[in-house]
Structure 1
Amino acid sequence: MTKLTSDIFLLQETKLNPEKALEFKKICYFWDGIFQEAHGLARGLGILWNPSHIEISCFASSDFWMAYSIKCKKSNICFLLFNIYGRVKTEDKRKVWSKVSELALSLDLGKVVMVGDFNTILCAEDKWGGLKLPTKVVEDFKDFVTICKVADIIPKNGTFTWNNRRRDFVNIAERLDRFFIGEWWMLNHHSIDSIIEPQCGSDHYLISLNIGQDLERHKSYFKFLSMWWLDPTLLSHIKNWWCESNVFSGSPSFKFTKRLQFIKRRLKEWNNSSFKNVFAEKARIEGELEVVNSVIMAHGMTNVEFEAEKSLKAQYSDILRREE
C-alpha cells in the first residue's frame, strides 16, 4: 500500500478485530478508515481513504458487503461505492447477490462502483487449471451483474487476480477480484482502466481502478526510514542541519516550520547519496517481480516462475525490513 497512490483502499477478509483494526489505522498515518469487525479469523471488510481529497460515509452494511456514499472534494462528484465479499458456498453467494442488487436498484445505479473479492468467475477464460466451475454459479453471477446494470472493467495488464501459488499441473489461477462501474462513468469519463498490481505475499493480487482525473492521486508523504539509523553519522548530520537552518526570520512557528522543511530537504539529499544502492536494488527487484507476475497473471505458474518469485520475494522482504 505504501507504494500505491490511490485515494481510496478497499479491503476484504481483513480478519481484524476492533483492536487490530485500530492499530492498522494508526499505521496508515493520515488515512481515515471504517472497519467491519471480523468473526474470529474470518470475514471483515474495511475502507481507508485520504480525507484531504475524499469524504466517505457508510450507509448500509452486512457481514459480507458495505455500501458507502463518496464525495470527491475537488470535483464535487458524488457516487456510491460497494465493497463486496462473495461467500464460498453457492447458496450464501446468492444471498449476497440478492441483498446487494436489491439495495442497488433502489439507488442511483449510474453513479456506482462495485469492487470486491467475488469468489467466482464470469466466464471460462477467467480460470486456469483445477475443476470446472458449475454453470449455475457462473450464471447466477452474470444475472447479478445484469440486474445491477454495471460493466466489468477488465485489467489491461493481465487476467488472473488469485493464484494458489502451486507449481505446474496443480497450479490454479482465477479472476476473483474485479471492479464494476455504472453507465454514468462510461458516458462522462473517457479514461477508465484497471491494473493488477505486482504481488508480494498474498495469494490475491491488488487491483487498482483509475477513473478520469476526478479521483486525483495525492502526492507521496515524507517518511522517516528505519534503515537511516544504521548510519552512525545520522544524529550529527541532523544537529548540523538544525544549526545551518537558523537563518529564517518571522514568527517562532514560521521559523520552526521552515527549519523542519530545510532538514527534510537535507535528509532526502543525504538519503540519495548514502543509500542510492539500496533503492536501486529495490527498484531492480520490483521490476523483476513485475515481469514474473505478469507471466503468472497471464499464463499461470510453472516451476520456473515459482522458484523465481520465491527468490525475489525473499530479497524484497529483506529490503522492506530495512525500510520499516
Structure 2
Amino acid sequence: MVLLAHGVEFSRRPLRELGWRLLSKMETQNLNEEVRATSNSVRMNIILWNCRGALNPRFHVTLKNLIDTHSPSIVIVTETRVGGERAKDITDRLPFDGALHVDTIGYFGGIWVLWKSDDVEVTQLAKTEQEIHVVVKVRALNSSWLLSSIYASPRLEERKLLWNNLASIAPLHELPWLLLGAFNELLSSRDKLGGNPLNLRRVQLFKDCLDTYGMVDLGFHGPQFTWVNKREEGHFIQERLDRGFANAEWKSLHPKAAIHHLARTHSDHCPVLLKLDDHGPSNLCRPFRFQPMWMSHSLFPEVVTDSWTEDGPLKSNVEKFIADVKIWNREVFGDIFQRKKKNRG
C-alpha cells in the first residue's frame, strides 16, 4: 500500500491544511476495515529515546546496546540536535533500512524514526519540526495503525501549535493511534519531584488536547520518572516527560502492550521500551548482591553517577542505585545470572 511516494513536509502550520487530506485516501483502500481485524499477539518492540545529542560518542554505544538487547522493529530518537545530511549519514550506519528525519528547532529538537522493513511497512503522511506521522503496517499481523512520534518544543507557544495540530487530526480518521514521544509537559503532581509547582494552565491545555482525540496514558513499569536534572540536593528535579498514549482502537488491537522505563545512561532522559506483547517480569525475587563484573562495563560509572545525589540521604541513594542497577543489569549489561550459568556449563 502506497499513499504518497515521498510524503509531504510542512513547517509551523496546522497539519489539517495539507497532509491530512491524505487520510481520506485510506478509506478508498479499505484501510479502516483492515485495521479492525481481530487482535493477535506479536513479539515486537519499539524504543523511544531522548538522546540529548546524537554527535556524542556515547550515543552510538548506548543505542547499540539498546538495539542488541531489545531487537526493536522501530526506534524513535528525539532531541538529536542534528539534521540534514549529517543526520542521514548517522542513520545510514545504523542497522535499519528505513529512516525519516525532521530538522532541529535551532539548537534544540530533531526527530528520527527508524525501522526494519522485514518487520513493518511504514508510510509517511506528514511531519513538522515537532512531529512525524506515519502509518505502520505490522507484517506479522497484517494490521495497520497510525504512529505519531513527538518532540514537543521547550517553548510553550510552539507546544500550543503542536497541541492544535494533534487535536485537528482526531476527527479526520478512525485508525488505531499510538502517540510516543518527549512531550515536555506534565499531567499531574505525580509526574514531578522537586522544583516549582505545576503550572495548572499548561497542564489543562495538555489534558484538553489528549481528551479531544480520546488518548489514554499507557502507564509504565520501572522508575517513576524519565528525566532528571542531575543537580545537587535542594535543586534536584525529576519528571516524567517521555511517555506513550493510545486511543481505544489501538489498545484493543494490542491489549498486552506495556511501557518499560529502562536504565538511564549517556542522556538525562531514560530510554523507553514499548513491548506490543508484554508478558511481564518474572515473579522470582532474589536478594540484591553487588556484582564485581559490572565494573568492567564502560557505562557502569554513569549508572552510579545518575543514581547518586550528592549530599542526599544515604538510604535514598542506596535504594535508588539498587533499583537502577537492577534494570541496567537486565536491559544493558545482560542478565549476569544467565551469564554465570553459561560459564558454568
> Per the shorter chain, which TM-score range?
0.5 to 0.7
Q: CA deviation at 1:281?
A: 4.1
User: Pick from 59, 62, 70: which aligns with 2:125?
Assistant: 59
Give the C-alpha shift of residue 178 in structure 1: 0.4
- Deviation of the 1:153 alpha carbon: 1.2
Q: 2:254 aligns with which of 170, 189, 195?
A: 189
Matches within 5 A, 1:166-205: 166-205=231-270
Aligned counterparts of 1:283 and 1:187: Cα–Cα separation in 2: 44
Matched, 1:116 2:178: no
**Partner amino acid, structure 1, of 2:154:** V
How big is the shift at 1:197? 1.1
Aligned to 1:2: 64
Q: Deviations over 1:254-283 (max 9, x none)?
A: xxxxxxxxxxxxxxxxxxxxxxxxx95478
| Matched residues, number | 244
Q: 1:130 corresponds to which residue?
A: 195
Q: Which runs of 5+ in 1 are unaligned?
A: 214-278
Contact kept in structure 2, 1:68 and 1:80, CA below 8 Å: yes
Identical residues among aligned pairs (%): 23
> Which letter maps to 1:88?
P
The alpha-carbon deviation at position 26 of structure 1 amounts to 2.4
Q: Which residue of 2 aligns with 1:90?
A: 156
TM-score (normalizing by structure 1): 0.66
Deviation at 1:206, TM superposition (A): 0.9
Aligned counterpart, 1:107: 173
- Secondary structure of the 1:195 match is strand
Question: 1:42: which partner in 2?
Answer: 108
**Per-residue deviation at 1:300?**
12
- The one-letter code sitting in structure 2 at the alignment partner of 1:121 is L
Q: Secondary structure at the match of 1:75?
A: coil
Is it true that 1:208 corresponds to 2:273 in the alignment? yes
Under a length normalisation based on structure 2, what TM-score does the superposition of the two structures give? 0.63
CA separation of 1:51 and 1:137: change in aligned 2, threshold 3 A:
same
Q: Which has the higher contact order (CA 8 A, sep 6+)?
A: 2
Paired with 2:173 and 2:183, the residues of 1 have a C-alpha distance of: 21
Please state how far the C-alpha of 1:157 moved relative to its aligned partner: 1.1
CA deviation string 1:282-315 (max 9, x = no partner): 787878977986x68xx99947649979xx9xxx
Task: Kindly provide the CA deviation profile for residues 208-255 of structure 1, in whole angstroms up to 9, marking residues without a partner as x.
Answer: 111228xxxxxxxxxxxxxxxxxxxxxxxxxxxxxxxxxxxxxxxxxx
Q: Secondary structure at the match of 2:159?
A: helix
Q: Given the superposition, is the C-alpha separation of residues 145 and 130 from structure 1 closer, same or farther in structure 2, using an over 3 Å criterion?
A: same
Q: CA RMSD in A?
A: 3.4
Task: Choose between structure 1 and 2: higher helix proportion.
Answer: 1
Within 2, Cα distance between the matches of 1:186 and 1:300?
A: 41
Following TM superposition, by how much is the alpha carbon of 1:13 offset from its aligned partner in structure 2, in angstroms? 1.8
Q: Does 2:91 align with 1:29?
A: no
Structure 1 residue 69 displacement after superposition: 0.8
**1:81 to partner: Cα distance:** 0.4
The letter of the residue matching 1:125 is: R
Matches of 2:83 and 2:236 in 1, distance apart? 32
